[in-house]
Structure formats: C-alpha cells, structure tokens
C-alpha cells in the first residue's frame, strides 16, 4: 500500500536522451510536487500542481516539463538530458496547498546521466 510511488527508482541514460519519471499517489491528495536533490543533498522544489493546475514553477530549464493527467498522477519529462541533471528526483503530495499540510514523499528516482 505505497502512498506515493515513483517509477523507475533508478534511471541511467546518456546525454541528449529524453526520459520520463512517473509519480502516483493513492492518498486522495489534491496537490503534488517535484523536488530535485543534487549530489550535495541540496533539496529544491521544481514544480507543484493543485488539482491538475500548475501553481509553482521555479526557475527550471524548459527541458523539464511536468504533466498531470489527473490528481493522482504527476509525471516529469526531461528532454535533451545533460550531465548536470544527474540527481535524485522526489515526488511528493499533500492534501492541499496550505502551509500546515504534511507532505508525503515518494522513494525518489536516482537519475544518472553519462
């Protein structure tokens, strides 16, 4: 009964390729997020969707495109992968956008670009 799941857990690919990471939550939450954690463990928000609408879009290269087909899913597509994209990408969800809501994190996807 995984609350927030991500696929794949590990992804190794070459520079220039296009790849997608999928996220699904079965908690009935309205809000979902993508975070990037780099090699120094810095964790930074990339995007947030509420009821399938984009509400947070940080300064992220436009090679990154999130897509939310429904409230339970938030996918991340990355075009023309670069070495600097290597990181762990976390999906998270929360019941709403308010500051009091706990965020539930997925297990992370470790992306390695060679």
Binding residues (CB under 8 A) for other proteins: these are: 31, 33, 40-45, 48, 50, 55-56, 88, 90, 92, 94, 96-103, 105, 107-108
In the complex, least distance from residue 100 CB atom to other proteins, rounded to whole angstroms? 6
Nearer to other proteins, 14 or 98 (CB): 98
Min CB(45)–other proteins separation in Å: 6
Q: Which is nearer to other proteins, 15 or 55 (CB)?
A: 55
DSSP state letters, 9-58: SEEEE-TT--EEEEEEE-S--SEEEEEEE-TT--EEEEEEEETTEEEEE-
Q: What is the DSSP letter of 102?
A: P
Choose among 86, 76, 91: nearest CA to 35: 91
What's the closest the beta carbon of residue 80 comes to other proteins, in angstroms?
Answer: 26
């Amino acid at each position: 009964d995984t609350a927030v799941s991500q696929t794949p857990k590990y992804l190794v690919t070459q520079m220039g390729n296009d790849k997608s990471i999928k996220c699904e939550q079965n908690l009935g939450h309205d809000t979902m997020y993508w975070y990037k954690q780099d090699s120094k463990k810095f964790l930074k928000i990339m995007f947030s969707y509420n009821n399938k609408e984009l509400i947070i879009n940080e300064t992220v290269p436009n090679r990154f495109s999130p897509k939310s087909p429904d409230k339970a899913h938030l996918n991340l597509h990355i075009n023309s992968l670069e070495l600097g994209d290597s990181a762990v990408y976390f999906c998270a969800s929360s019941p709403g956008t308010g500051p009091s809501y706990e965020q539930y994190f997925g297990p992370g996807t470790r992306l390695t670009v060679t």
